[in-house]
Amino acid sequence: MGRDPLEMIAAQIKGGADVIQLREKNMPKGEKLPLGLATRNLTKQEGTLFIVNDDLDLALILEADGVHLGQDDIPIQYARPLMKDKIIGISTHSLDQAREAIDSGADYIGIGPAFKTETKAKTDPVVGVDLMLKVQGLSSIPVIAIGGIGKSNIDVLLNKGIKKVAIISDILSSRDIEAKTRALKEKLM
């Protein structure tokens, strides 16, 4: 039997995760809603930022701290009037996409995949560290590397100056999610 998603979230918060993103690509919205409500309650209680991936409607209903939009999601121009001064993050895979996200008022940029990953069904080509650094140099908003990052390769990014990361499988595949999150977080501090 799979592990309880809320317990996995609680373990990541205990381990020091700064942000929890609700990313359930294959879950019907009717199921995402109660999970989202519980996640909102927990993150609020713990003082952890809560971002909803893809679903602007859920982000609004759940009163999340922000929404994360990909290149094929609702464009930021339509999301901003509804999200007001809440966080809007944009996934980017190239310098042009990053420039566009910055110009359109993104609060942070996700960039990747940093390494090969099985988590996303259809990934763009791996984005090199040099491009990530260029994107970091474009503005002062946070740039968060994503895709295939874990304990075995995070130093490659850190050593070159990429200091913010988003991680899914390396954490969720761990037997002890709290300990793995803590070990990764310690590297980031």
The catalytic residues are 23, 91, 120
In the complex, the smallest distance separating the C-beta of residue 45 from ligand TZP, rounded to whole angstroms, is 26
Q: Residue numbers of the site for ligand TZP (CB under 6 A)?
A: 112-113, 117, 119-120, 123, 146-149, 167-169
Cβ proximity to ligand TZP: between 13 and 114 the closer is: 114
The vertex-109 CA angle with 15 and 39, nearest 5°, equals 40
In the complex, the smallest distance separating the C-beta of residue 3 from ligand TZP, rounded to whole angstroms, is 16
C-beta of residue 102 within 8 angstroms of C-beta of residue 82 = no
**Residue of 43, 54, 145, 167 interacting with Mg ion (CB under 5 A):** 54
Cβ proximity to Mg ion: between 72 and 96 the closer is: 72
Name every residue whose Cβ is closer than 8 Å to that of residue 84 and which is 6 or more positions away in sequence. none
* Per-position x/- string for 64-93, each x denoting binding to Mg ion as judged by CB under 5 A, each - no binding: ------x--x--------------------
In the complex, the smallest distance separating the C-beta of residue 25 from Mg ion, rounded to whole angstroms, is 8
Cβ proximity to ligand TZP: between 141 and 171 the closer is: 171
Q: Report what 123 binds from Mg ion, ligand TZP, none; CB cut-off 5-8 Å by kind.
A: ligand TZP
- Give one DSSP letter per residue of 130-158, joined into a string: HHHHHHHHH-SS-EEEESS--TTTHHHHH
Q: Say whether residue 120 binds Mg ion (CB under 5 A).
A: no
DSSP class of residue 24?
A: -
Cβ proximity to ligand TZP: between 84 and 92 the closer is: 92
By CB under 5 A, which span of 14-22, 54-62, 112-120, 177-185 interacts with Mg ion? 54-62
What span, in angstroms and rounded, lies between the C-alpha atoms of 18 and 70? Answer: 21
Name every residue whose Cβ is closer than 8 Å to that of residue 44 and which is 6 or more positions away in sequence. 50
Strand order in the sheet with 143-146: 19-22, 49-53, 66-69, 87-92, 108-111, 143-146, 165-166
Q: Collapsing DSSP states into helix, strand and coil, what is residue 110?
A: strand
Q: Report what 162 binds from Mg ion, ligand TZP, none; CB cut-off 5-8 Å by kind.
A: none
